[in-house]
């Protein structure tokens, strides 16, 4: 007991309340307590009091500020684009003598400008939707084959080739569609008109060729690698235990995919489809080279015709006067709004699906 230092009756016993005599008796390894702290009024040196003060600026603070600035910059750019489009489009819209939203024709260079977005917006949405209807089932099939059926030595080079297709310039697809793919589509259109002309979408007396069908098929080929690559990556992220559990319960390969892979990857597939739709809505040169450039609203898919906002901008910008350029910018504003609505709808669908999945878990 004599060797153990006696403790002070101070409330800070065991900390700074050890007397100076006991500190000196503890050896040279213990620093003596300053004379002005014999009553233990100072905070203890150990515990939280020994931690260094937080720096005013650290890497974490800098990274957080940089990330916030980057996110805010995206919003600033979007707002700046919208302001530019509106400011350039307003004079042309004021000079327009027809209803911009319902008029079908496009004569902005006349002495009395007359132009509308109805036919262009209809053609843009129609070609994009048909392209997705054609491309999405094929893309999902390819993605499932590469991720769950094909051997690795085959899946790897095929996946690489599909990724390369996404890098092909759109003008190459457009020239190929106009010079090579036109004849097979024209023959197929004649066959559809011969046997299915009772359907309005395949009716008409011709001519056939540079039609909504040709533009949509070329657009589907362009969208295919994007949806395929993203869907493949999503399917490969399915937890292995989910797949093994389904197989252990006696499910076949397809039943395992239907009950484990597809539900898990649904939000990612929706995001991939919406990204492909955004690519289709904004496509310019390929549609300018494959559509018939007609300003009308028709669901006929095989007759010459069709137009889109982006293709019209590419075809008419060079000969447009000041009012015509303003009209084209106004049509670009409509395309900007359509793309924004599509992306917001996609984010809402993914968010609701994520909430449902998290609540079920």
For all residues of the chain together, what is the average pLDDT?
Answer: 82
Tokens (6 digits) for 85: 């489009």
pLDDT confidence of 309, banded at 50, 70, 90? very high
| Whole-prediction pTM | 0.77
| Inter-residue contact 113 to 92 (CB < 8 Å) | yes
- In the block, tokens 């589907």 appear at 220
- Summarised one tens digit per residue, pLDDT across range 134-145 is 999 999 999 999
Is the pLDDT score of 166 beyond 90? no
Distance CA 250, CA 248 (A): 5
Task: Name 331's Cβ contacts closer than 8 Å, sequence gap at least 6.
Answer: 117, 120, 309, 312, 313
Range in 74-83, 198-207, 328-337 the model is least confident about: 198-207
DSSP letter string, 227-239: HHHHHHHHHHTS-
Give the pairing type, strands 114-115 and 106-107: antiparallel
Distance CA 280, CA 308 (A): 11
Task: Give mean pLDDT, residues 161-175.
Answer: 89
Q: Determine the 3-state secondary structure of 325 from DSSP.
A: helix
CA-to-CA dists, residue 48 to 44, 45, 271, angstroms: 9, 8, 48
Domains in the chain with CATH codes: 69-359 (1.10.3720.10)
Task: Give mean pLDDT, residues 83-87.
Answer: 90
| Inter-residue contact 228 to 159 (CB < 8 Å) | no
pLDDT of amino acid 52: 56
Distance CA 266, CA 143 (A): 13
């Amino acid at each position: 007991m004599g060797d153990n230092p006696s403790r002070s009756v101070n409330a800070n016993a065991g900390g700074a309340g050890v007397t100076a005599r006991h500190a000196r008796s503890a050896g040279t390894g213990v620093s003596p307590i300053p004379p002005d702290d014999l009553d233990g009024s100072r905070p203890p040196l150990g515990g939280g009091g020994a931690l260094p003060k937080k720096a005013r600026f650290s890497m974490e603070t800098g990274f957080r500020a940089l990330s916030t600035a980057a996110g805010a910059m995206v919003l600033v750019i979007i707002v700046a684009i919208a302001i530019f489009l509106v400011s350039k489009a307003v004079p042309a819209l004021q000079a327009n003598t027809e209803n911009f939203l319902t008029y079908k024709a496009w004569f902005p260079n006349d002495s009395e400008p007359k132009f509308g977005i109805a036919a262009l917006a209809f053609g843009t949405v129609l070609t994009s939707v048909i392209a997705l209807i054609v491309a999405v089932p094929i893309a999902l099939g390819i993605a499932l084959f590469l991720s769950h059926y094909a051997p690795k030595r085959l899946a790897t080079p095929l996946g690489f080739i599909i990724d390369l297709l996404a890098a092909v310039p759109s003008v190459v697809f457009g020239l190929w569609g106009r010079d090579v793919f036109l004849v097979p589509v024209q023959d197929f259109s004649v066959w559809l008109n011969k046997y299915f002309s009772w359907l309005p979408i395949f009716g008409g007396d011709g001519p056939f060729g540079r039609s909504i069908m040709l533009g949509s098929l070329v657009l589907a080929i362009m969208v295919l690698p994007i949806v395929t690559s993203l869907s493949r990556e999503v399917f490969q992220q399915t937890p292995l235990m989910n797949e093994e559990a389904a197989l252990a319960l006696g499910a076949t390969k397809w039943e395992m995919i239907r009950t484990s892979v597809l539900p898990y990857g649904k939000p990612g597939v929706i995001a991939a489809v919406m990204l492909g739709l955004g690519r289709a809505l904004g496509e310019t040169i390929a549609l300018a080279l494959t559509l018939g450039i007609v300003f009308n609203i028709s669901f006929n898919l095989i007759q010459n015709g069709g137009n889109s906002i982006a293709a019209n901008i590419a075809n008419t910008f060079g000969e447009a006067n000041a009012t015509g350029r303003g009209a084209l910018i106004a049509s670009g504003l409509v395309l900007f709004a359509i793309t924004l609505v599509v992306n917001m709808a996609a984010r809402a669908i993914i968010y609701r699906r994520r909430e449902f999945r998290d609540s079920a878990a």
